[in-house]
Chains A and B, each alone.
Chain A
């Protein structure tokens, strides 16, 4: 019988969930980052073969496929690589507060860090290539929240 010939169909309601998981991730890069945050430093790892600096820094280089261990500190200032302005939610309803999320390449690093942008007045003036500076929390305790945001340098 072809599907087109079926006269009556029935809808069945059901549910499914994948809640039985315990995840683990490779956390070497994040651990190093948190260590550095305690002293208001951004730490990453550099490959001794190709020189790429990764932040957060894994213990292997994906280009050279070797273990890497050299810890480097990158500067607290950097350039905006890409940014986006959150104006509405996924359905199109305008948000109460406009926020800007930036991907920043801190000086000395080859990788982008994502964070919130502060210190701006008109979102239409933001451009890739503008300079920003890390704003730290007063009492850093070695958590992601120590890096409050990236502040626009005027």
Chain B
């Protein structure tokens, strides 16, 4: 029989910024966890288990959760560690959900975090394909693709923004949109972020023209379309249905109605096995979304979902993911964003928090998507980015790896009937 699980509180360690030289990783985690607990009736020792996640090659600390035992209040408690690339945060959330749904624990804390200033993001990102890049050198010296050989680019994923620009170009070709639509998406994200006190890049009243002034790096992606590297931590507390009244400090909690995850193959730089997948197809996202909606009892996502938090590492993904999550028709996003459909006061607000384009602490980003969707349902989003209508259902999404992992979470204001 299904055990319903609710999110009763969300905590941040503070605003996401590019450098935090004043605190260490574990102090950052402590702030986030204490912030989350302070909004509940929980005493610190009453959390049963913890699930922690981050991308450790960006900081150089393997197993950061071991260091943080006391800081996250996990002394002599179960701790599990998850890491799946960009979608780490939501995989952490799913693991925490299964901890409670299994019946073994009643109160679980999910923590996602990243402290980029302690490492080099480019090295971390390069590390994804480093073995392939080096081995391609063995097969013929050609890593830059300059005069003298083309295929070495496979290992580097091509272009300086890497595979994302291929995804964007392919998406624009299929949907009929143009670079101006990506400008609109990025402007919307920065403007939304200005109403979110925790977001990193806040540009109040950002307009597409402002974004269009930034140079194009790899067509169609501009400097203004890419995400920053942020430092920060996010903690989410999940509680089983029977204990919600006892521990929640608010009447409105966000119920977890359906979770699903999946993977397809590496869709960029697939030097061993051949790249048979167009990164803009994202068939896996549709499969995963259907599974999550089914578990949540949602038959018509276009009508039943009121807000979406998608993982937009690059601004064109604001246009792409709502289509792949079956919230709008395929190829409809360019027209819809022109009409203001995705605005904060539009029909389907997308990323009212500013999305990943405005704040990207890799280990936390996907968890922040769930956290922000939960805040929308609970009516507790601060700073002006609370959507002004009753949110019955929200969907949060994350992707990771070489455009292959996808995780989807559907939240609602009432639990699924058993």
Interface size classification for chain B:
35 or more
Contacts A84-B159, A87-B218, A149-B150 given: A110-B276 contact, CB under 8 Å? yes
Q: Which of the segments B88-96, B161-169, B373-381, B389-397 contacts the partner chain?
A: B161-169
In whole Å, how far is B218's beta carbon from the nearest beta carbon of chain A?
4
B31: A residues at CB distance < 8 A: 3
B276 near A92 (CB under 8 angstroms)?
Answer: no
A72 at the interface (CB under 8 A from B): no
A30: B residues at CB distance < 8 A: 135-136, 139, 271-272
Q: Which residues of A contact B (CB under 8 A)?
A: 2-3, 9, 11, 16, 18, 21, 23-30, 34, 44, 52, 54-58, 62, 81-92, 94, 99, 101, 103, 110-116, 123, 127-129, 137, 143-150
Q: Which of the segments B19-27, B72-80, B107-115, B297-305 contacts the partner chain?
A: B19-27
B274 at the interface (CB under 8 A from A): yes
Most chain B CB neighbours (cut-off 10 Å) among A34, A112, A143: A112
Contacts A115-B153, A128-B170 given: A92-B273 contact, CB under 8 Å? no
Alpha-carbon gap, A54 to B141, bound state (A) = 23
Alpha-carbon gap, A51 to B217, bound state (A) = 38
Contacts A3-B30, A143-B139 given: A81-B165 contact, CB under 8 Å? no
B151 near A94 (CB under 8 angstroms)?
Answer: no
B142 at the interface (CB under 8 A from A): yes
Most chain B CB neighbours (cut-off 10 Å) among A57, A85, A144: A144
In whole Å, how far is A10's beta carbon from the nearest beta carbon of chain B?
9
B132 at the interface (CB under 8 A from A): yes
List 12 A-B pairs, Cβ < 8 Å.
Answer: A23-B130, A25-B132, A26-B273, A54-B276, A82-B166, A85-B218, A88-B216, A111-B276, A112-B276, A115-B151, A116-B150, A143-B140
Alpha-carbon gap, A24 to B132, bound state (A) = 9
B250 at the interface (CB under 8 A from A): no
B67 at the interface (CB under 8 A from A): no
Q: Map CB proximity to A onto B275-291 as digits: 1 under 8 Å, 0 otherwise.
A: 11011100000000000
- Chain B residues numbered 124-171 whose CB sits less than 8 Å from any CB in chain A: 127, 130-132, 134-136, 139-142, 145, 147-154, 157-161, 165-170
Alpha-carbon gap, A147 to B153, bound state (A) = 12
Contacts A57-B274, A82-B166, A146-B149 given: A114-B158 contact, CB under 8 Å? yes
B323 at the interface (CB under 8 A from A): no
B60 at the interface (CB under 8 A from A): yes
B383 at the interface (CB under 8 A from A): no
Alpha-carbon gap, A3 to B141, bound state (A) = 52
Alpha-carbon gap, A148 to B173, bound state (A) = 26
Alpha-carbon gap, A107 to B154, bound state (A) = 19
Alpha-carbon gap, A86 to B132, bound state (A) = 22
In whole Å, how far is B28's beta carbon from the nearest beta carbon of chain A?
8
Contacts A25-B131, A82-B173 given: A16-B60 contact, CB under 8 Å? yes
A143: B residues at CB distance < 8 A: 139-142, 149
Alpha-carbon gap, A89 to B221, bound state (A) = 12
Contacts A27-B135, A115-B151 given: A101-B216 contact, CB under 8 Å? no
Alpha-carbon gap, A94 to B223, bound state (A) = 11
B274 near A84 (CB under 8 angstroms)?
Answer: no
B215 near A94 (CB under 8 angstroms)?
Answer: yes
A84 near B150 (CB under 8 angstroms)?
Answer: no
Q: Which of B21, B147, B217 contacts A11 (CB 8 A)?
A: B21
B149: A residues at CB distance < 8 A: 137, 143-148
B160 near A146 (CB under 8 angstroms)?
Answer: no
B57 at the interface (CB under 8 A from A): yes
In whole Å, how far is B404's beta carbon from the nearest beta carbon of chain A?
11
Alpha-carbon gap, A44 to B161, bound state (A) = 28
B142 near A144 (CB under 8 angstroms)?
Answer: yes
Q: Map CB proximity to A onto B336-366 as digits: 1 under 8 Å, 0 otherwise.
A: 0000000000000000000000000000000
B39 at the interface (CB under 8 A from A): no
Alpha-carbon gap, A63 to B147, bound state (A) = 36
Contacts A9-B22, A54-B273, A54-B274 given: A144-B159 contact, CB under 8 Å? no
A99: B residues at CB distance < 8 A: 145
Alpha-carbon gap, A62 to B274, bound state (A) = 10
A147 near B217 (CB under 8 angstroms)?
Answer: no
Residue of A nearest to B122 (CB): A90
A87: B residues at CB distance < 8 A: 215-219
B15 at the interface (CB under 8 A from A): no
In whole Å, how far is B144's beta carbon from the nearest beta carbon of chain A?
9
B223: A residues at CB distance < 8 A: 88, 91-92
In whole Å, how far is B388's beta carbon from the nearest beta carbon of chain A?
32
A2: B residues at CB distance < 8 A: 34
